[in-house]
Amino acid sequence: EDVRRRDEARFETQLAEGVRAGQRFLKGNIGTPIPTPLTQPRRAGRALNEETAGVLNKAESQN
């Protein structure tokens, strides 16, 4: 019961203030939560115009 109440409060706080805001509700040796996509992308992104092509190419060259 207490866990569910704290988890709900943590989730509401994270929605309002960001993922690190709910950290005070965690107990034990749990690290800071790291946000991840809900699903993995099915394919790589592609540029739809010249501006985004430049940004995409720049990002790929940095990796």
pLDDT along the chain (63 residues), means of 10: 82 84 69 71 85 84 75
Q: Is residue 20 part of a domain?
A: yes
Give me the amino acid identity at 23: Q
In 3D space, the residue among 26, 1, 3, 31 whose CA is nearest the CA of residue 13 turns out to be 26
Q: Is residue 11 part of a domain?
A: yes
The helix (H) or strand (E) run that includes residue 52 is: helix 50-62
Q: Is residue 23 part of a domain?
A: yes
Q: Is residue 9 part of a domain?
A: yes
pTM of the model: 0.38
Q: Is residue 50 part of a domain?
A: no
Q: Is residue 15 part of a domain?
A: yes
Q: Is residue 57 part of a domain?
A: no
Q: Is residue 2 part of a domain?
A: yes
Domain that holds residue 12: 1-27
The length of the chain, given as a count of residues: 63
Q: How many distinct structural domains can be found in the chain? A: 1
